[in-house]
Structure formats: structure tokens, C-alpha cells
């Protein structure tokens, strides 16, 4: 090639080239990494949940509950059999997330136009908006099952089914109970087992947070504590708050506040690569970049997440 400029028999690897009869090509590693970083900044649930990369469409995870009981015996006493932990299989419902941005051929031909920045930004925005909403409110049909769409009950951990989440009532329908709204937040925190509180955080939208930031203690101090360090979030009852705009506003029987260790409680399973199909033929003179990514999600440990329901009981 260097001597004669002959392209025949040479495999081309470039953004405009193809790699296979389907006309698709893999995202270069630099672009894929940039998309991942942007997703983490935009989608708050992704930043606090457990994310696993899978190499196939299906993913299964075993979770035990109940532990292995033990007992005390004398030196010569018989050792009766103890109970065995129960295994639960987690299979996060998945769907194919896609984006289909387009650019004119003239724009692509312009040497000033940076295709890499444009493509990563457009795909990241669309993927973040869609998956962020699904991790909270997803139906589980061709998309992740959001934690707010799990079965909810007021039963404690030792009496509740493995797949259901416990809620704590706020004490009043569509509101906090009187002037002691902070009491319900304290109950919510302590409904979570101590083992999960380390690394736990509140999740709510901006409207709910604005209301809580106005709470004051009896001596006039704000319940919300602003951070004194740059880049560190403020805290509520000593725990950070993650603002997720897909959480519902406060209303009758709404599940507007979540508290828990989402690293232990919610699982996101995704394919390790984003695939892109370059389509310059369907809608000339525009070139479409059809991007797909398979993402699944489901509550992994129902003991690690608690919800606040704005109801009297």
C-alpha cells in the first residue's frame, strides 16, 4: 500500500468504514468510554447501583436469604442438622435501548465537525434519559423493572416475601404528619438493617428535597446539612441525597422517597459493548447512526431498599 497506494486486500478500520456484510461497525474504545462516563453523570441510579457487564442476552444471579443457623452444644452432645439457606434466582428483565440520531452528509464532510463528540453526546443523552427512568419506574416488559414497580408492603424483613419492598408510612395522606415530618424520616432510616446503612443514601426528586430542606428541629436548626467540602453532597440525617427526577412528586399514596444501599439492593445488567449501524441509504442526504444497547435491571436484595409511602398507614 505504501509503495503503490493499492487498497485491495487491505482491511480498513475507520469511522466511515464497515466491518461485515451487515454494514455495522463497533464503537471505538475511546467513544464507548466517553459514553459510559457521561451516563454515570446523568443517570443517578446507575452511579449508586451495582452494574455488571454480560456477554450474552441472559443473566442470572443467585441470592441467599436466611443465612446458616448455628447452635450451642456440649463437647459430647450430638450435632443435629441445621437449616440450609434458601436460594433465590435473580433474572433482571432486559430490553434493547436504542437511539437513532442523524446528521447530514454535508455536516459529516465538513472537516471542522467532530463526529466523535457529536455521536457520543447524542447517544449518551438518549440512553441516560431512557435508562434512568426505567431503573426507577420501568415495567419489566422489554425494559428493566424499576424498584418502584416492585411489590410493596408494610411487612418487616422477617415476614415479607423476598421480592417485595417494605414501605414506611409518612403518617398523612399526600403529606408528612403535622409538624413532626422528620420523625417519619427517622423511622425510614431505622427500618433499614444497620448492616446496610453504611453506604446508604436517600433518593428523591428536587421538589421533594426542596420541601424537606425546610424542615427544622425544635431549636431552629435545619435538618438538612450542607456540605462544607466542594464536590461532596449535602446530607440528610447524616446520609447523602441523590436527586432523581424520575421519582414521583409527593401525592396521596405516592412512593416519593427511597432510602437504602442501592449497591446491595439494585442490579443493572448490560452488554459490554454499544453497537452502532451506520446507515447512509435510508434517508438521503442524512446519515443515521443507529445505536443499540441491551440493558436489564431489577431489585437484587429487597432488604437493602426501603420506601416512604405518603399515606396515613
What are the extents of the domains in the chain?
24-64+84-144+267-299, 151-266+302-309
Look up residue 204 and give its DSSP letter.
E
* pLDDT over 50 at 98, yes or no: yes
Higher-confidence residue of 18 and 83: namely 83
Distance between CA atoms of residues 192 and 180, nearest Å: 20
Higher-confidence residue of 217 and 153: namely 153
What does the pLDDT read at residue 58?
67
Identity of the highest mean pLDDT range in 51-55, 181-185, 263-267, 282-286: 263-267
Q: Which residues of 128-139 are buried (b: 16+ CB within 10 A; e: fewer)?
A: bebbbbbbbbbe
Distance between CA atoms of residues 295 and 181, nearest Å: 37
24-64+84-144+267-299 under CATH 3.30.2400.10, yes or no = yes
Q: Tell me which fold the domain 151-266+302-309 belongs to.
A: hypothetical protein PF0899 fold (3.30.2320)
Distance of CA 9 to the CA centre of its chain: 45
| Average pLDDT value for residue range 26-39 | 62
Q: What is the dihedral of CA 118, 43, 214, 304, to 10 degrees?
A: -170
User: Percent of the chain having pLDDT more than 90?
Assistant: 32
pTM score of the predicted model: 0.77
Residues 9, 10, 15, 21: is their CA dihedral positive or negative?
A: positive
Q: How confident is the model at residue 262 (pLDDT cuts 50, 70, 90)?
A: very high
Strand partners, 298: 267
- Summarised one tens digit per residue, pLDDT across range 274-306 is 777 888 888 888 888 888 888 889 999 999 999
3-state secondary structure (DSSP) of residue 145: strand
Distance between CA atoms of residues 67 and 299, nearest Å: 19
Nearest 5°: the CA angle 299, 86, 75 is 135
Q: How confident is the model at residue 85 (pLDDT cuts 50, 70, 90)?
A: low
What does the pLDDT read at residue 24?
43
* pLDDT over 70 at 3, yes or no: no
* pLDDT over 80 at 88, yes or no: no
Amino acid at each position: 500500500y505504501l509503495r503503490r497506494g493499492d487498497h485491495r486486500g487491505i482491511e480498513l478500520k475507520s469511522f466511515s468504514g464497515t466491518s461485515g456484510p451487515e454494514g455495522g461497525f463497533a464503537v471505538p474504545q475511546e467513544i464507548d468510554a466517553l459514553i459510559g462516563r457521561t451516563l454515570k453523570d446523568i443517570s443517578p441510579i446507575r452511579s449508586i447501583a451495582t452494574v455488571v457487564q454480560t456477554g450474552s442476552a441472559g443473566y442470572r444471579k443467585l441470592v441467599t436469604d436466611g443465612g446458616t443457623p448455628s447452635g450451642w452444644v456440649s463437647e459430647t452432645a450430638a450435632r443435629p442438622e441445621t437449616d440450609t439457606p434458601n436460594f433465590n434466582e435473580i433474572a433482571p428483565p432486559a430490553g434493547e435501548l436504542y437511539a437513532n440520531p442523524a446528521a447530514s452528509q454535508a455536516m459529516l464532510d465538513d472537516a471542522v465537525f467532530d463526529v466523535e463528540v457529536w455521536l457520543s453526546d447524542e447517544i449518551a443523552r438518549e440512553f441516560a434519559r431512557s435508562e434512568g427512568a426505567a431503573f426507577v419506574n420501568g415495567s419489566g416488559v422489554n425494559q428493566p423493572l424499576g424498584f418502584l414497580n416492585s411489590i410493596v408492603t408494610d411487612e418487616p424483613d422477617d415476614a415479607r416475601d423476598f421480592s417485595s419492598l417494605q414501605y414506611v408510612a409518612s403518617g398523612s395522606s399526600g403529606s408528612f404528619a403535622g409538624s413532626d415530618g422528620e420523625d417519619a424520616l427517622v423511622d425510614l432510616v431505622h427500618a433499614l438493617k444497620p448492616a446496610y446503612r453504611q453506604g446508604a443514601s436517600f433518593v428523591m426528586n428536587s421538589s421533594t428535597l426542596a420541601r424537606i430542606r425546610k424542615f427544622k428541629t425544635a431549636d431552629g436548626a435545619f435538618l438538612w446539612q450542607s456540605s462544607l467540602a466542594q464536590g461532596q453532597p449535602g446530607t440528610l440525617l447524616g446520609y447523602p441525597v441523590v436527586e432523581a427526577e424520575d421519582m414521583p412528586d409527593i401525592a396521596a399514596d405516592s412512593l416519593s422517597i427511597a432510602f437504602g444501599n442501592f449497591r446491595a439492593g439494585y442490579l443493572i445488567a448490560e452488554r459490554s459493548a454499544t453497537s452502532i449501524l451506520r446507515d447512509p441509504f435510508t434517508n438521503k442526504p442524512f446519515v443515521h447512526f443507529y445505536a443499540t444497547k441491551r440493558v436489564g435491571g431489577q431489585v437484587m436484595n429487597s432488604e437493602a431498599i426501603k420506601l416512604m409511602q405518603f399515606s396515613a398507614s
